[in-house]
Amino acid sequence: MSEMRDHGGGLDAAMAVYGGTRNQWLDLSTGINPTPFPAPEIPPHFWQVLPDSSAQTTLLNAARKFWQVPQSADIIATSGVSQLIAMIPSLQSAGQVEIIRPTYNEHAAAFNAAGWNVSDSGEVRVVVHPNNPDGRIHKITTRDTAKTKLTIIDESFCDVMPDQSLIELTSQSNVIVLKGLGKFWGLAGMRLGFAISSPALIQQMTDRIGPWAVSGPAQFIGAAALSDYNWATQTRTRLANDSIRMDKLMKGFGHTSLGGTDLFRLYETTDAMALQTKLGKNLVWSRTFPYSTSWLRLGFPGTQTDWDHLTRALEP
């Protein structure tokens, strides 16, 4: 039986329960930057032809430079990190996989669906870094990766803290680091993800995914986003300030911070479902977890109006 895949989003389901229209809701259920990278105007030819190799090379070169990919490692771009998560279990014969938990369960669901046994130890190891939902930072060395056949490090939320990236471990032959433009850049709908690993593993992934995994418009916008270092620096500063502001706001209403990242915060509450219901009735969508009755996670409002909306929703 496949493991349930619970995740943020699903605003349509919230509207079905609590009413309201999409533009009336404040969706804080995901860790997506509410102020996305300002996508440049897309030249018409990107819509009219199949994605070409030169645009793909430009995208991959921008990614390699931005994330400081080791020279010995290779990189592949795909239609979102989720595509990679679903495909990676097929790289090896099914066995035991260790997933450092609690974490979001997309990895467990993908390995489970491919016939793997998810346990507390295994020849393959999956680490979400920083972790979702508590923001835990993992200290992993080449000594750790040498104990596994394959180590997968999901850095979907790591671009708010580039100094903590474990990208240098991809110089090892058995490490895959996952990156994406959905969270930090706020471009989740564009569906653009990356895997960085040894040339041999990247070739296996390339063979499985096939041609044109990334659309021409995504190639163009992705290259622009990964080349705008000023935007990235300014965004990290803004999100860090939002993180402090959110913790202060929630503390004022009696909720305890358990950590998180500068894209989402996790709180200990008396009753997470009750608080989610209260917020839902005020058209604010939040994130709860099947393994905890007290944890509630919030992303950040994007405007002062949105912050005011959240504050009113939290009031007794």
Q: In the CATH hierarchy, which fold is given to the domain comprising 11-36+236-314?
A: Aspartate Aminotransferase, domain 1 (3.90.1150)
Task: Confirm if 35 and 302 have CB atoms less than 8 A apart.
Answer: yes
- pTM, whole model, 2 decimals? 0.95
- Domain at 45-227, CATH class: alpha beta
Cα 234 to the chain's mean position, in Å? 20
- Walking along the chain (316 residues) 10 residues at a time, the average pLDDT comes out as 53 94 96 97 96 96 98 98 97 97 94 96 97 97 97 98 98 98 97 98 95 96 98 98 98 98 98 98 96 97 98 97
Q: What is the largest CA-CA distance in the chain?
A: 57
**Can you give the pLDDT at residue 66?**
98
Torsion of Cα atoms, 221 then 226 then 227 then 228, to 10°? 90
- The domain locations on the chain are 11-36+236-314, 45-227
Structure tokens at 174: 């058995």
The rounded distance, in Å, linking the Cα atoms of 98 and 165 is 21
